[in-house]
Structure 1
Amino acid sequence: MTTANSFEKGLRILDLFREDRLEWTAEEMMEELGYPRPTLYRYIRTLRDAGLLTALSGAGFTLGPRVVEFDYLMRKSDQLVTRSQPHLEALTAAWPCTALAVRWYGQRILCVASECSTPNPLSSYPRGRPMPLARGAISRSIIAFLPRAQMQQMIEQNLAEFGQVGLGKTAAEIAERFREVRRAGHAVAYGEVTPGVVGIAAPVFDGARAPVASLCVTIAGSTLTGERIEEIAAHVRRAAEEVTKALSPARAIPPGGQVPGDCGADGAGTMAAQGPAEAAT
């Protein structure tokens, strides 16, 4: 067994924990993962000693306090969080809304920072809770700026759900809707994630001009007119552009996990050379 394989198997244990399954026993882990008992217990012991797992009184396990420590360090060190914070505060000062900075990684989009200027947050997805990949303005604002082949793959993988929110019945129709988002520079969605709430989002790019995040305002639809939506969208676009400028000196690893400029089998690295306009047209 290689070190890399051992590391990946350890991560698979951590990946078991999710919102609808917060606790696991060792027996349940073995059944789910297929690890031999001695191997599983070795991984559990290592993760527990590192503070990543905590043993429960009922012989089960849940995530440990080290996760909270990592979260604290990330809030201090993640440039998306630190650079977005002033813009989130400005957006919530201008309108009664929730403003979010959302990072895309792997096949997930996740709120990493937010501010709210209403009595109740206008979002069903607080910091740390994964959001729907095929619904809402945030997802759309990122997918629309992917390289063409990658965008097409995302459309095909989520064709039914895109159709359910009215983006189109065919892959070609949905792709045209994404091109419209690209031309506008922002996405608007009406009640797709939280009923009665309008989402207005614009992409944030890394140093390789890959879309890695989104800034979004969620606001009660009853308070909006078409003119107000355009006003908010312009503010969100400017904020996203400022965050992009702040992040551009760093050559971040894009969502596919490949170092910018390296061309793998799927051609994901071509975006660094082409830039977003050429890659998705």
Structure 2
Amino acid sequence: MSQLNKVLQVLDLFSAQVPTLTAEQIAQRLDLSRPTAFRYVRQLCDAGLLLSISGSYALGPRIIELDCCIRLSDPILAHSRDALRTLAGTQACMAVLVTMYGDQVIHVHSESGHGSTELQFSRGRRLPLLQGAASKIILAHQPVSRLRRLFQRCREDGQAQAISDDVSGFLKYFRMIRQQGFYVSRSEVEQDVTGVAAPIFNASGDVTSCLSLTFNHDLNPDYETDHFIPLVQNCARDVSLRLSRSQNRLRARSAQDQPGRLDA
């Protein structure tokens, strides 16, 4: 593991449940020597990624600055805002943009319809990896090799067992979701909440994000998922098309700007 990865591991120790840590606690949790932990902390403080508070450390203001930059420049978010508003509409629903990095699935942005029940997850919160419409539709479009590794890792803590006892059943489950093109969850992440999700494709045909529409099915028993499925799929296709066009334009512009290129 590179030194950069080791330094960044420090940031993963912080959460809503663990907002502050001392250098000694960081050393203990990462099995580092005390001088090494202090060196890592100092580097992160110099970069603004950590903040020193009375002998302890918390996540720093640079992260807020970076989040502001993402909100203004994230192409997937930029092309999804209108679709999220369309999904939420005037009904008691919440439309959510979700993305995946590594083995983490996080809530990126949401729009609320009239009278919708707020989810417990806000921007930046992690979603269960193997539960819920958003996580499952993204996983369904991952390479088989990645799903195999995920099954082996999650089998140890029992998460994968809820889907299948063996890897072949696990792969078949997600293959069916992929072929279906959407996924509907009911009370998988939050009690009384139904979610409908469809994938967002980038210009390379990869899926790392999705759009999801959620509503409280106990408070809105007349809501039919069959009505929402095509709406979610159409919005996700529209975002995928916009994203692909934008990425292709950037690639074309980059090719034109390459040094040594001779104009026709």
TM over 0.5: yes
**Aligned match of 2:20 in 23, 40, 49?**
23
SS at match of 1:219: strand
Structure 1 residue 119: Cα displacement: 4.6
The TM-score normalised by the length of structure 1 is 0.79
SS at match of 1:158: helix
Cα 1:23–1:229 change in 2 (3 A) is: same
Which residue in 2 is equivalent to 1:43?
40
Which residue in 2 is equivalent to 1:161?
159
Which residue in 2 is equivalent to 1:220?
216
Contact 2:117 2:216 in 1 (8 A): no
Structure 1 residue 26: Cα displacement: 0.8
Which residue in 2 is equivalent to 1:247?
243
Aligned residues: 244
Which residue in 1 is equivalent to 2:256?
none
1:130 aligns with 2:102: no
Paired amino acid for 1:161? Q
Pairs within 5 Å for 1:1-281: 5-57=2-54, 59-119=55-115, 121-159=117-155, 160-164=158-162, 167-222=163-218, 223-224=220-221, 228-249=224-245, 250=247
Paired amino acid for 1:203? P
Structure 1 residue 243: Cα displacement: 1.3
Structure 1 residue 13: Cα displacement: 1.3
SS at match of 1:18: coil
Contact 1:124 1:193 in 2 (8 A): no
Structure 1 residue 137: Cα displacement: 0.6
Deviation larger for 139-148 or 216-225: 216-225
Structure 1 residue 74: Cα displacement: 0.4
Structure 1 residue 147: Cα displacement: 2.1
**Which string of whole-angstrom CA distances, capped at 9 and with x for unpartnered residues, describes residues 145-164 of structure 1?**
12223233334433532443
SS at match of 1:14: helix
Contact 1:202 1:240 in 2 (8 A): yes
Cα 1:199–1:114 change in 2 (3 A) is: same
Cα 1:66–1:144 change in 2 (3 A) is: same
Cα 1:32–1:242 change in 2 (3 A) is: same
Paired amino acid for 1:23? T
What is the alpha-carbon distance in structure 1 between the residues aligned to residue 241 and residue 151 of structure 2?
Answer: 29
Q: Gaps (5+ residues) in structure 2? A: 249-264
The TM-score normalised by the length of structure 2 is 0.84
Paired amino acid for 1:82? A
Determine what percentage of the aligned residue pairs are the same residue: 30
**Which string of whole-angstrom CA distances, capped at 9 and with x for unpartnered residues, describes residues 47-70 of structure 1?**
21222111112x110001111111
Deviation larger for 42-51 or 149-158: 149-158
Structure 1 residue 5: Cα displacement: 2.7
Paired amino acid for 1:194? E
What is the alpha-carbon distance in structure 2 between the residues aligned to residue 55 and residue 245 of structure 1?
Answer: 45
Cα 1:29–1:153 change in 2 (3 A) is: closer
Q: Gaps (5+ residues) in structure 1? A: 252-281
SS at match of 1:248: helix
